[in-house]
């Protein structure tokens, strides 16, 4: 039986993980959140006071870390050496440093190897920035998910309110566009649409509509 690979790339807060999770569940595929892996390394670097200007120190740290996913009743949890870091990796201090950590070549190479290993023996939905271009270049279906910065900031804003977090809308917009800029202009595997990826603009669409759109694309692609 041939394993099916669905690659979903795109800028921050475009809805990649929400959509990827639903698609994986509906199809019985595993889901791999590659951003969570870079976030877990960033969290460990903060906790260990690792010098983030040192690629070598970060790689030494990464080589000591086991980053894994575990499916639980309330969704997928992220583990760093047996410790549940699902919530911690969403902290603002992690979010604001992750792009710096993920820009290093040797860090990316190690992460890509780990991600390819996860994809080896299962049908999978994987989301990130370089899945269609680097991690799974032969994916059955490649989606490039985008939405305007304002729309993405609005979604994050509402999400934060529902969690009881008070955020400044303009600051949120700036954070999102700064991270996009950093991820898109870095030297090593920048965020870019793969030549054979299908562009899906989610502006004005709700989650169900986006899922439906991608499911239609899966039917024809797979
Ligand atoms: O997807 P998420 O926003 O959680 O990703 C956090 C950060 O990790 C991104 O802003 C990017 O810098 C990095 N990342 C990456 N390559 C991936 C996934 C995430 O460089 N495949």
* 164-181 residue pLDDT tens: 888 899 999 999 999 999
Coil/strand/helix, residue 82 = coil
Instruction: Quote the distance between the C-alpha of residue 13 and its chain's center.
Output: 9
Q: What is the mean pLDDT of residues 126-151?
A: 97
Q: What is the pLDDT of residue 1?
A: 66
**With contact defined as beta carbons under 8 Å apart, do 58 and 41 qualify?**
yes
Minimal-distance CA residue to ligand 1 atom 20? 102
Q: What is the pLDDT of residue 196?
A: 97
Surface-to-core class of residue 221, CB atoms within 10 Å of its CB (0-12 exposed, 13-18 middle, 19+ buried): middle
Give the pLDDT band (50/70/90) at residue 198.
very high
Q: What are the distances in angstroms from CA 221 to CA 35, 142, 214?
A: 25, 9, 10
* pLDDT higher than threshold 80 for residue 155: yes
Greater model confidence, 35 or 121: 35
| Gap from CA of 74 to ligand 1 centroid (Å) | 23
For a ligand 1 pocket test, name from 15, 32, 38, 91 the mutation site with the most ligand atoms within 8 angstroms of its C-beta: 38
Two tokens at 44?
């460990």
- CA angle, 16 then 82 then 25, to 5°: 35
Rounded CA separation 130/135 (Å) = 6
Question: What is the ipTM metric for this complex?
Answer: 0.98
Q: What is the mean pLDDT of residues 101-114?
A: 98
- 15 annotated among ligand-binding-site residues: yes
Q: Is 104 in the pocket of ligand 1 (CB under 6 A)?
A: no
Minimal-distance CA residue to ligand 1 atom 15? 129
* pLDDT higher than threshold 70 for residue 78: yes
Q: What is the pLDDT of residue 2?
A: 83
Query: pTM above 0.90?
Result: yes
Q: Which ligand 1 atom is nearest residue 115's CA?
A: 21
Q: What is the pLDDT of residue 10?
A: 96
- 54 annotated among ligand-binding-site residues: no
Partners of residue 7 on adjacent β-strands: 126, 142
Q: Would strands 75-80 and 124-128 be described as parallel, antiparallel, or unpaired? A: unpaired
Minimal-distance CA residue to ligand 1 atom 19? 35
Give the pLDDT band (50/70/90) at residue 113.
very high
What's the chain's average pLDDT?
Answer: 95
| Gap from CA of 166 to ligand 1 centroid (Å) | 24
Minimal-distance CA residue to ligand 1 atom 10? 99
| Gap from CA of 215 to ligand 1 centroid (Å) | 24
* DSSP 8-class letter at 122: S
| Gap from CA of 1 to ligand 1 centroid (Å) | 31
* pLDDT higher than threshold 90 for residue 221: no
Q: Is 32 in the pocket of ligand 1 (CB under 6 A)?
A: no
Whose structure tokens read 């566009």? 177
């Amino acid at each position: 039986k041939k394993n099916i690979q669905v690659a979903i790339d795109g800028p921050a807060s475009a809805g990649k993980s929400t959509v990827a999770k639903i698609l994986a569940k509906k199809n019985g595929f595993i889901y791999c959140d590659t951003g969570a892996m870079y976030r877990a390394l960033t969290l460990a670097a903060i906790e260990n006071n690792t010098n983030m200007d040192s690629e070598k120190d970060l790689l030494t740290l990464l080589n000591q870390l086991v980053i894994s996913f575990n499916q639980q009743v309330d969704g997928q949890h992220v583990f760093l050496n047996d410790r549940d870091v699902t919530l911690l990796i969403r902290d603002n201090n992690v979010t604001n440093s992750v792009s710096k950590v993920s820009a290093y070549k040797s860090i990316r190479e190690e992460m890509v190897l780990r991600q390819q290993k996860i994809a080896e023996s299962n049908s999978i939905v994987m989301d990130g920035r370089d899945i269609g271009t680097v991690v799974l270049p032969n994916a059955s279906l490649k989606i490039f998910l985008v939405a305007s910065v304002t729309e993405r900031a609005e979604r994050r804003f509402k999400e934060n309110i529902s969690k009881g977090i008070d955020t400044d809308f303009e600051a949120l917009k700036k954070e999102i566009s700064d991270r996009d800029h950093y991820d898109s202009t870095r030297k090593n595997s920048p965020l870019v649409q793969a030549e054979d990826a299908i562009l899906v603009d989610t502006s004005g669409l709700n989650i169900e509509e986006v899922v439906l759109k991608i499911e239609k694309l899966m039917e024809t692609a797979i």
